[in-house]
Chains A and B, each alone.
Chain A
Amino acid sequence: MEARFFLRFLLLLSLLSLSFSIYEDQVGLADWHKRYIGKVKHAVFHAQKTGRRRVVVSTEENAIASLDLRTGDLFWRHVLGKNDVVDQLSLSLGKYVLTLSSRGSVLRAWNLPDGQMVWETILQVSNPTDLLLHVLGNVKSGRDSLILACNGGFIGAVSSIDGVIVWKKELSVDGLKLKHVFQPPESDTIYAIGFIDTSQIALYHLNAKTGELLKHATQSSPVDLSSEISVISIDSLVVLDSTRSSLLLIKFTDGTITHHHKPLSGIAKDFSDTAELIPTKLNDIFVVKTPSSVSFVKVKGDNELELIEKSDQTGIVSDSLTLSEEEQAFAVVHHSSNAINFQVQINGREVLTEAIQIEEHRGRVKSVFLNNYLKTDKSHGFRALIVMEDESLLLVQQGAVVWSREDGLASISNAVPAELPVEKEGVSVVEVEHTLLEWLKGHMLKLKGTLMLATPDDMGAIQAMHLKSSGRNKMTRDHNGFRKLIIVLTQSGKVYALHTGDGRIVWSYLLTPLLQSQRCPSPSVLTLRNWRVPHHNALQENPSVLLVGRCGPSLESQGFLSIVDSYSGKELETLILDHSIAEVVPLPLADSSEQKLHLIIDNDLNAHLYPRSSDSLKVFIGDMANMYYYKVENAKGVVKGYAFKEGHGTGSSDEYCFSTRELWSLVFPSDSERIVATARRKMTEVVHTQAKIMTHQDVMYKYISKNMLFVATVSPKATGGIGSAGPDEASLVAYLIDTVTGRILHRVTHQGAQGPVHAVVSENWVVYHYFNLRAHRYEMTVIEIYDHSRADNKDLMKLVLGKHNLTAPITSYSRPEVTTKSQSYFFTHSVKTIAVTTTARGITSKQILIGTIGDQVLALDKRFLDPRRTANPSQEEKEEGIIPLTDSLPIIPQSYVTHTLQVGDLRGIVSFPATLESTTHVFSYGIDLFYTRIAPSRTYDSLTDEFSYVLLLITVVVLVVAILVMWAMSKKQDLQEKWR
């Protein structure tokens, strides 16, 4: 009976912990959130005389944002859909931000101060090609101004106030591509210039108010035109011919087209034939770039060209900036040995040259956006936004970097945890509490907080105290394993180490410039792995990470490896490989210096062993017979398994190269099944117990195999998104495959279901999320797999006492009978990514981390996804903690680990264990980063920050007083007794 009561008590406790939840004043104690925007591709400065200065940017990550020009902080940011790429960005009326997106078909206006979308207009676009967005400033139909959006032969004029299409004109000429639209001042006519195919130049006159075609003229060109143009004034442009060896200067005066053909060699002698026009908008100047130089050419009069400057370094040129009616400025940035030269020219006259120191790890300048301001003496001052190779954004002014944003972190592709250095003796511990009085004061405050007696001021003090104390930002390892480094790889190939305490960048390292100087022309980093994770016997070695990449854009190009120290970010070793890279396979083996063994599989299916040392070779060859590799070919619908054997296929004598031998292959019928998702267990996952005790003291043995692969296939018709297939033509098949033997352990078909499929495998179960077309809801299914062959072995006592015969290892060589249990539940939201919590020993119960469509991370207890949930659980089952069956999974708002924050454009969730068993780190990344620590079963192994020491102290005092009083009373009574 007592046991039952105790169980019930435990159940009560565990029910309390079903959701991860925090109080509002705990925000920021363990978590941090960083917002980024990504690599800037357009920037428009808001020219406002007073108030906060802003710059509006759109980025490669498809975000539009408004930044404070003074600090670089975000005012607002929106992330558009993946297929809704921003093509053009502009400002209108000084208060709206205009974006043209989705290949010129969606025009949106956003309110500049707060980012609210004001209107959205759909432009019917037949053939999207070159997109132009042109805000006409001087057409005043009322207080409104018109926005012209051009696309191929289509022109639409949209009112900037409400987005109404005032007129639209489809210039129905085959092959017409509009290149430039302009309106002379004080005129009601719009001129549109375009090319018809590559041979004709066309000029259209349109009424600005009605769009009526007034006049049009075409003229054939003497040369084939390329699509590279440079607009040099409001009514003239320069175009490169298709052979890239000559220029055509086109002028449109009074509705007529005049053109002059100029060979490039006439400007300067050594123009080779691979010139490029940099699309700039400079006054009477255009920029020609050749592989070796950048030249600025001025157009004089009608057809005179003059080379004004030619620099041998390749510089980056900004768009021109109109200062006044006749003054236009642009900026050129060159690299010098250890700084960048920032140069501003007004009308071709150099007015400003500054050398600006920029940290080397930012790489080269990628683009420049120039802005001016009026100094107190009425002269022009200049500042510029500079986008660097690592995608960071800098504001430079007066020869210095005013602020910088690490926007490279918006494109994380991979994240691994790493340890911090061990605290050395002599390194002073952060002084946490100075005096007993302060300590007591602090705890009194905390107590007030818990008793809800604190004033807002007190709350602030508590918050500050929390943040200051606990030394969470220290650069050393802590006892609980809460302080770690998260090493992330970004799209630009830069590696950052982030501190889990506050998310600051501890070090960063850009690999590419280093490689470019060697024989690696266009390096791109593919993946990041832990290379050395020192354990007790190699603690003097620093941990390090491995970067693997390709030297060129093609799959066949040779690879490179780079090893970076995790503590310092110093590069230890870089190798340019002489083979290609198809896949990197980390092995569960390490050499004597704790370097993890990795196999790199090349395109010819040869395996190359790294590190290349005799020690690692010995380790690998010793275990080679038990090493297998599988490969999923999504396009072909094949999964293949391989074993390794010594000797290179091509007969070279490289002893670190092994050839592979195909063992099995699994071919999915291509007419009915397409692979849409695969998932496998994390290599590093620890499983605590192999058995699961059921009700009635029954034991089930988990089928725990590291070689289990989950594969989901859908019928070909259902591979599109939702809405593309009906329930009768869609089906989803889930497989559990053993990757050593190719044996299908389990196969289940879901009729009327389709992708996208997101799956996570852990221990002996898999959870996957897909769309059920019949119910028209999302569903999550859990499959648990049990080893049936050991099911007879049911002596619980032996198991508990450790006398159970567990020596029979789980092996893929034997073919144990397996049984599965499965259950499906509805889930409300679309899912972007799915992960599972991992803890140090695997004792703590699991939570499934679901990245929802709303960019939040939901922690869902695994017990909700228990296949044994029944509608009416029996008493025993209830005691075991089985939750009554419901058709859908609950979404408890308090169990969002991201609480009120969103991780914009969420792409991945990584969970890695802390040293403390109850706690796990959760790092989620998208455009934003969010980190927190969660305890899926509450912190049962440590006191929380919430623990009130003062209350404990008071209790102890009260108890002592009570004892004293009791003692006194009993004495007194004793005395009375004796007197009696």
Chain B
Amino acid sequence: MERSSALIGSLFLIISISCLINPILAATYGSGDGYTVAGRVKLDSLATKGFGLSPKHSETKVILNGGQRITFIRPDGFFSFHDVPAGTHLIEVSSMGYFFSPVRVDISARNPGKIQAALTENRRTLNELVLEPMKEEQYYEIREPFSVMSLVKSPMGLMIGFMVLVMFVFPKMMEGVDPEEMRQAQEQMRQQGIPSLSSLVAGRS
């Protein structure tokens, strides 16, 4: 209960802040058959740059109920929907480069003006309707910086690696072979004409 009253309080705060900017909000709030849902979108660069939005963020849209209504954010990140009927609604934020969780907004019919909000992705309740991105979205695959390992792991690298292995390890293996056997094997090779790896291996075991 305390939480919800805090929510109402903060909503009032938001509304009153936006009223300072725009008193018409106060006039429509609670009047008519709908309510005003006002909130704020908080993007990192908003905080650092203050009021100036980068062109990318001027494209940020706030969407009510899957496209019933669309509004844009102001330079300070505030947005509002007017004349929203009582009920449970869904607010989505579309902003390139950020992932926002949709927000479930309950407007109580019995208790006019009582608004509750919760993120649908993680069911976190919002004390005030301040929408922050859950994470930044990186649309491109990051190229891994050049490393020897990546070269070695490539098919070509593997081939070279195997070659090197053959170059250095096989002679070592040969060393362990009994000279008698070696001669035998060489004899065999000469008989067959073509030396083959399988016969070598077979000859060893």
Contacts and interface: CB of A to CB of B under 8 A. Distances in A.
A452 B65 CA distance: 45
B139 A899 contact: yes
A450 to B, nearest CB: 8
B137 A893 contact: yes
Interface in B135-168: 137-141, 143-146, 151, 154, 156, 159-160, 163-164, 166-167
- Best-buried of B67, B74, B144 by chain A (most CB within 10 Å): B67
A776 B156 contact: no
B75 A722 contact: no
Interface stretch (A6-14, A89-97, A510-518, A950-958): A950-958
Contact of B167 (A22, A117, A900, A962): A962
Interface stretch (B7-15, B87-95, B124-132): B87-95
- A-B CB proximity, top 3 nearest: A81-B70, A854-B94, A893-B137
Given A165-B24, A722-B89, A853-B63, A116 B96 contact: no
7 contacts: A21-B140, A164-B23, A722-B89, A723-B85, A723-B89, A828-B121, A962-B164
A962 B67 contact: no
Chain B interface size, as a band, is: 35 or more
A265 to B, nearest CB: 50
Q: Is the interface of A mostly helix, strand, loop or mixed?
A: loop
Contact of A84 (B32, B70, B96, B138): B70
Nearest to A113: B55
Contacts of B23: 164-165
B3 interface: no
Interface string B39-66: 0000000000000010100110101011
Interface in A82-113: 82-84, 108, 111
B28 A124 contact: yes
A400 interface: no
A119 B67 CA distance: 21
A115 interface: yes
Contacts of B61: 854
Contact of B99 (A162, A891, A902): A891
A271 interface: no
A119 to B, nearest CB: 6
Contacts of A80: 70
Interface string B83-126: 11101111010111101011010000000000000001100000
Contacts of B92: 829-830, 853
Contacts of A124: 27-28, 32
Contacts of A120: 22, 71-72, 74, 80
Nearest to A855: B94
Interface string A776-787: 110000000000
A829 B120 CA distance: 11
Nearest to B52: A116
Contacts of B160: 955, 958-959, 962
B101 A828 contact: yes
A724 interface: yes
B153 to A, nearest CB: 12
B90 A722 contact: yes
Contact of A902 (B84, B96, B140, B151): B96
Contact of B67 (A22, A853, A893, A965): A853
Nearest to B81: A122
B185 interface: no
Contact of B104 (A163, A776, A828): A776
Interface in A15-41: 21-25, 27
A118 interface: yes
Contacts of A721: 65-66, 68
Contact of B55 (A76, A894, A900): A76
Contacts of A402: none
B51 to A, nearest CB: 10
Contacts of A195: none
A493 interface: no
Nearest to B31: A124
B82 interface: yes
A626 B85 CA distance: 52
- Best-buried of B63, B90, B164 by chain A (most CB within 10 Å): B90
A451 interface: yes
A555 interface: no
B55 A114 contact: yes
Contacts of A83: 68-69
A829 B144 CA distance: 31
Contacts of B65: 721-723
B1 interface: no
Nearest to A899: B139
A642 interface: no
A82 B67 contact: yes
Contacts of A335: none
Contacts of B27: 124, 165
A82 B55 CA distance: 23
Interface of A: 21-25, 27, 76, 78, 80-84, 108, 111, 114-124, 162-165, 451-453, 721-724, 726, 756, 771, 773, 775-777, 828-830, 832, 853-855, 888, 891, 893-894, 896, 899-900, 902, 951-952, 954-955, 958-959, 962, 965-966
Nearest to B80: A120
Given A451-B146, A723-B85, A828-B101, A955 B156 contact: yes
Nearest to B74: A117
Contacts of B59: 78, 902
A122 B28 contact: yes
A776 B88 contact: yes
Contact of B96 (A25, A115, A854): A854
B73 A117 contact: yes
B21 interface: yes
B54 to A, nearest CB: 9
A217 to B, nearest CB: 30
Contacts of A21: 140-141
A118 B74 contact: yes
A853 B66 contact: yes
B195 to A, nearest CB: 11
B24 A893 contact: no
Contacts of B156: 951-952, 954-955
Contact of A899 (B140, B166, B167): B140
A23 B73 contact: no
Given A81-B67, A896-B139, A899-B139, A119 B21 contact: yes
Contacts of A966: 166-167
B58 to A, nearest CB: 4
A453 B146 contact: yes
Contact of A777 (B94, B95, B102): B102
Contact of B53 (A116, A828, A965): A116
Nearest to B162: A959
A107 to B, nearest CB: 10
A121 B167 contact: no
A123 B82 CA distance: 10
A817 B5 CA distance: 57
Contacts of A888: 121
Given A452-B143, A723-B85, A776-B88, A117 B72 contact: yes
Given A116-B53, A853-B94, A954-B156, A893 B138 contact: yes
Contacts of B87: 723-724, 726
A121 B164 CA distance: 74
A615 to B, nearest CB: 48
A747 to B, nearest CB: 26
